[in-house]
Amino acid sequence: MKLLIVLVVLCLGVATLTEAARPVSTEVVQKLKELEPVYKQLQDKVISEVAGAKLATATATDTFYKGVIADKETSLTRSIQLEDDMTYQFNGQASSVDASCLQMLRSIVDMNMNVAGFGYTNCVNNVEAGVKAELDRVYQLLQVDESELFDISLLDVFKGENIISNPAKIIAKLTEKRSEIDGISLSFVADINAAVNAYASRLGDMQNEYKSCLLGNESVLKASFESTKNQLVQTCLGAIV
């Protein structure tokens, strides 16, 4: 009889052990395994979105600078062409035209070129101040505080818990953790992308302003040359060649 009881107790013991393959405890680890890549994906997305926005900003800045440099080159080429045209006029005058009168006009052309140079510098100074302000503004917006996202601990669910005796509580905490991660709003992505687009478009506007500033100053230079040509004919008694 005693033996039987011992046997029964033993059998019960084995049964309990087998049944207690602790599926809930095992589930804790499974859940953790599922959650970890979700968290990693979130971090990757944040990093790549922020990096993408920064790259797009750098590209916009690059496009802007290339455009401004090209405008500057075109404008300089046109101004030099205007001066060359004037020089051509002076060189083509008959020897009967008073040399010192011509020399005065050459000086005037030289002066007017120099004055135009001041104008061009002012045009570029305006652009420089503008782009600096825009850059400061967009980088301010790109300063995303990622620490809030990256500060989540996946392992604090175990704090004060026992995976063997009460895994269900850990499961509950993991579920909560999952909602926390899923609930992290990536709405800032739309915000930073909008900021970068606005930046690119403001740079485009600034480049157009720069272009018209150069063109305006070129017109003034051109007008001064027209006046010089007039003096050449009317005052120095030369001719347009």
Ligand X SMILES: *[C@@H]1O[C@H](CO)[C@@H](O)[C@H](O)[C@H]1NC(C)=O
Contact between 66 and 209 (Cβ < 8 Å): no
Single out the segment in contact with ligand X by CB under 6 A; choices: 37-45, 56-64, 86-94, 116-124: 116-124
Instruction: Decide whether 67 or 119 has the Cβ nearer to ligand X.
Output: 119
Number of residues this chain uses to bind ligand X (CB under 6 A): 8
Under the criterion CB under 6 A, does residue 37 sit at the interface with ligand X? no
The whole-angstrom separation of Cα 198 and Cα 187 is 17
Residue whose C-alpha is closest to residue 85's, from 97, 94, 77, 74: 77
Taking the complex as a whole, the smallest distance from the CB of residue 223 to ligand X amounts, in Å, to: 10
Under the criterion CB under 6 A, does residue 213 sit at the interface with ligand X? yes
In angstroms, the Cα distances linking 222 to 19, 99, 116, 148, 225 are 97, 23, 10, 60, 5
Taking the complex as a whole, the smallest distance from the CB of residue 213 to ligand X amounts, in Å, to: 5
Under the criterion CB under 6 A, does residue 122 sit at the interface with ligand X? yes
Instruction: Decide whether 39 or 120 has the Cβ nearer to ligand X.
Output: 120
Phi, psi of 58 (to 5 degrees): -65, -40
Instruction: Decide whether 220 or 233 has the Cβ nearer to ligand X.
Output: 220
Q: 237: phi > 0 → left, psi -120 to 50 → alpha, else beta; which?
A: left
Taking the complex as a whole, the smallest distance from the CB of residue 89 to ligand X amounts, in Å, to: 24
Under the criterion CB under 6 A, does residue 217 sit at the interface with ligand X? yes
Residue nearest to ligand X (CB): 216
Taking the complex as a whole, the smallest distance from the CB of residue 227 to ligand X amounts, in Å, to: 16
Under the criterion CB under 6 A, does residue 13 sit at the interface with ligand X? no
Contact between 222 and 85 (Cβ < 8 Å): no
Under the criterion CB under 6 A, does residue 236 sit at the interface with ligand X? no
Under the criterion CB under 6 A, does residue 220 sit at the interface with ligand X? yes
Residue 33 is encoded by which pair of tokens?
């395994």
Contact between 124 and 68 (Cβ < 8 Å): yes
Under the criterion CB under 6 A, does residue 123 sit at the interface with ligand X? yes
Q: DSSP letter string over 61-76?
A: HHHHHHHHHHHHHHHH
Taking the complex as a whole, the smallest distance from the CB of residue 216 to ligand X amounts, in Å, to: 2
Kindly state the DSSP code that residue 152 receives in the 8-state scheme: -
Binding to ligand X (CB under 6 A) within 149-168 occurs at: none
Single out the segment in contact with ligand X by CB under 6 A; choices: 5-13, 152-160, 169-177, 212-220: 212-220
Q: Of 84, 216, 230, 237, which one interacts with ligand X (CB under 6 A)?
A: 216
Q: Is 113 exposed, middle or buried (0-12, 13-18, 19+ CB in 10 A)?
A: middle
Residue 100 is encoded by which pair of tokens?
């010192």
Interacting residues toward ligand X by CB under 6 A: 119, 122-123, 126, 213, 216-217, 220
